[in-house]
Amino acid sequence: PSHPMKPHRLALTHSLILNYGLYRKMEVYKPYKATIHDMCSFHAEDYIKYLERITSQPPAQSKKITRFNVGEDCPVFPGLYEFCSIYTGASLQGAVQLNHESCDIAINWAGGLHHAKKFEASGFCYVNDIVISILELLKYHARVLYIDIDIHHGDGVQEAFYLTDRVMTLSFHKYGNHFFPGTGDMYENGVDNGRYYSVNVPLRDGIDDHGFFSLFKPIVSQVVNIYQPSCIVLQ
């Protein structure tokens, strides 16, 4: 009950979209359920199979709990694997629709779990639907730009594409004083082929809408103009 990730947040978003009539401007689809094969396009198979096996209580004294970082911040709950399958499948379905030019914009307002790593859960995130969707987009797009405006640094996505120039990651986030996840310094800019294809805009507490927008607009405009992506993913 005290965990900050609550289902009513998604229900609230859904209600707002219905009550403002935004759904009339959209085509709404029942989400595709991602398979183990889909999720293993990025994640380790033993990690995904572990998520499939666990139920409401983690096995006592299991070394895999430590290994996979499932526990306190990423608790086990009934239906965990199905939850991962649905939100990941919805994002993947959106990527496929974009690849097939069935739409110009695809939205999954239950997705965006950007902290999950290849081998473990992190920061309330179990399966990184963003990375999986970008990998799908890369089948059709030479360059994908990922923009993250969550208060937390998009570390899982940055880490996944840190070595490539085919994905540029741009993250605006709170940084400093050991704020989670502790990454996202402006000097983290990629390595090897990915050098200079990771851009971080670390921010301190207190920035208002005007201050944020005065940074966001010119930085994003410059990145888009220079990188020339054919697809943009926004978290």
The answer to whether residue 115 is catalytic is yes
Coil, strand, or helix at residue 22?
helix
DSSP string, 186-214: TT----GGGTT-EEEEEE-TT--HHHHHH
Q: Which of 8, 37, 114, 115 is catalytic?
A: 115
Q: Rounded to 5 degrees, what angle do the CA atoms 15, 17, 20 make?
A: 100
Give CA–CA dist 124/131, Å, rounded. 16
Q: Give strand ranges (E) for the chain.
A: 144-148, 167-174, 198-203, 231-234
Those residues with Cβ within 8 angstroms of residue 196's Cβ, 6 or more apart along the chain or in another chain:
189, 190
174: exposed, middle or buried (C-beta count within 10 Å: 0-12, 13-18, 19+)? middle
Alpha carbons 112 and 227: distance in angstroms, whole number: 23
Cα–Cα distance for residue pair 187/185, rounded to 1 Å: 5
Which residues are known catalytic residues?
115
